[in-house]
Amino acid sequence: MTLLRLPTRIAAADLDEGAHVLDEPIVSAVNIAVAKARAIEAEPDEVVLTADTLVVCDDEVMAKPADADEARRMLQRLRGRPHQVLSGVALRKDDGVRWCGAVATTVVMREYTSGEVEAYIARGEPFDKAGGYAVQDEAFRPVERLEGCYLNVVGLPLCAVAAGLISMGVDVRAAGAPPCEYCRAGAGVVSIRSGS
């Protein structure tokens, strides 16, 4: 969010995300983001920004792994192949959702070894991450390349956020389509380089 140069504060959404999951993954991501936006109490004149990110492989959503075995299965399934990272974004002002968007990024994982997976699991890293990985993990470095928005994979596609804020009259610089200036700037923040 610092790339947008806007004042921010963090507020937690008390929400059962599973209750808002739908059959179509990208619609599900937007639906969860909208539910989060409605669940957060805002101060007057604040814009509430929420997002939800899903990892999808072979049309199946890969949630956060519950244990080491599930993390191992997920990471083995993703190894050396592409998948999609889908984020839904919602913006709300004055008690109503005003703008929603979705961003998809193709992620191609590298051919990491089973030993690298075991070391990653031993560090406890996969358990709070959709798909069991973090693109920005410096030790594991699971991603070979990305096609699209870098920041989407980290969890917040600023190109979509900026478009929504502009449509609501908030003064931010236009970002353009992914990979946009925010994607490129965010890539440096998380040490990822473009595959395109």
Helix axes 158-167, 181-190, angle to 10 degrees: 140
CA geometry: angle at 52 spanning 120 and 48, to 5°?
130
- Compute the C-alpha angle 129/134/138, nearest 5°: 145
Query: Which residues, 6+ apart, have CB-to-CB distance to 68 below 8 Å?
Result: 121
In one-letter notation, the amino acid at residue 8 is T
94 is catalytic: no
Find the catalytic residue in 16, 52, 67, 94: 52
Nearest to 27 by CA among 109, 82, 101, 106: 101
The two structure tokens encoding residue 153: 């994979």
Active site amino acids: 52
